Amino acid sequence: MTMRMDRRALVTGMGAMLVAAKAPPVAPLPATLVKPPRLRPGDVVGLIEPAGFTDDMFDLDLVKETIVAMGLVPRPAPHLAARHGYLAGTDKDRAADVNAMFADPQVRAVFAVRGGWGCARILPLLDFATIRANPKLLIGFSDITALHMAFAARAGFTTIHGPNASSNWGRFSWDGFRAVAFDGAMPTFANPVSNEDRLVPRAGRIRTFHPGKASGRLLGGNLTVLAALMGTGWLPDFSGAILFIEDIGEAPYRIDRMLTQLALGGVLGRLAGVVFGQCTDCGASGPSYGGFTLSEVLQQHLGSLGIPAFQGAQFGHVANQFSLPVGVRAEMDADAGTIRLLEPAVA
């Protein structure tokens, strides 16, 4: 009992010290975000690979067919099938594809085919004057977080943290995306009801670290990418925001390290609320593992903030996920485990 109480005291003290940290300069969000046009059947949408490459043309055929099944017309970027090491072409070529898609008046939205690594490398090469002048939905997740954050900081319009073009696109993902991007709806995002044959279902559960409701702009994405962008000037101002984060294949100590970085950089201390989504393959390993579990790490960092915070929302590296509009005002309910949009993402 004494050891448990001592650990709680340590955790509380650590949280207080980290929240007190000051942040480096960040890009302020505009008072009003521009809303890109909603998607309509027959619209042309660009396909880009700003990070990792796809080496199987059959997979790219499936991507194109998926876009067609949405009622849209795919337009592959010139370097879509390129490869440069583990990247989908050189930095110059991948940036040129992004710039070209936003400059093309026929392209109504831009889908990232996949994530991987490499988006941060092209940020200095992007033509933000052209991008700002041509607001269009950018859709994707994982490494695409670097583009979402840069667009929030430099372009001033909404993007969508949702499935990549090569994702599963089951009914749950498609219905949610269609409501946000086509219909301009303001849904309440809630985990799907589990159909497990159990007295107490395990799937879709949430864990509340601090109760209550909070409202603010939705900002976030992949935790690893966010941490890597700290101090670069490519992150927006998180003051009063609802931070949503997810990750994959990270041990608890690395999640601890990255959340510590966000805290020391002043991000966590400026938030209105936090939603931690799915952390796929992030569990502790080994039967004799004696370190902190993921839930304990999250409790240490998020529970001590004194703002609404919960874990388990359906976004991240999972088959079905929410389509969360980046920069849009929303209300989170840490007790119910929900995120409710307060304004549409599109015009």
Q: Report the relative pairing of strands 329-333 and 213-222 from DSSP bridges.
A: antiparallel
> In the annotation, is 317 catalytic?
yes
| 55, two tokens | 């080496």
CA proximity to 95, closest of 66, 130, 63, 60 = 130
Catalytic residue among 246, 250, 301, 331: 246
Q: d(Cα 41, Cα 124) in Å, to the nearest integer?
A: 34
Q: d(Cα 123, Cα 152) in Å, to the nearest integer?
A: 13
Catalytic residue among 166, 173, 317, 323: 317
CA proximity to 326, closest of 179, 102, 114, 161 = 161
Residues 6 or more apart whose Cβ sits within 8 Å of residue 305:
15, 19, 210, 268, 269, 271, 274
| Residue entry with tokens 């976004």 | 315
Q: d(Cα 281, Cα 57) in Å, to the nearest integer?
A: 28
| 187, two tokens | 């849904």
Nearest-10 crossing angle of helices 2-19, 294-302: 50
Q: d(Cα 60, Cα 76) in Å, to the nearest integer?
A: 9
Alpha-carbon distances of 157 from 21, 42, 59, 137, rounded to whole Å: 29, 23, 30, 8
For residues 24 and 265, the answer to whether their CB atoms sit within 8 Å is yes
CA proximity to 141, closest of 259, 297, 12, 315 = 315
CA proximity to 302, closest of 212, 209, 239 = 209
State the greatest distance between any 2 C-alpha atoms of the chain, in Å, as a whole number.
66
For residues 252 and 6, the answer to whether their CB atoms sit within 8 Å is no
> In the annotation, is 142 catalytic?
yes
Q: d(Cα 36, Cα 89) in Å, to the nearest integer?
A: 28
Catalytic residue among 49, 142, 304, 323: 142
Residues with a known catalytic role: 142, 246, 317
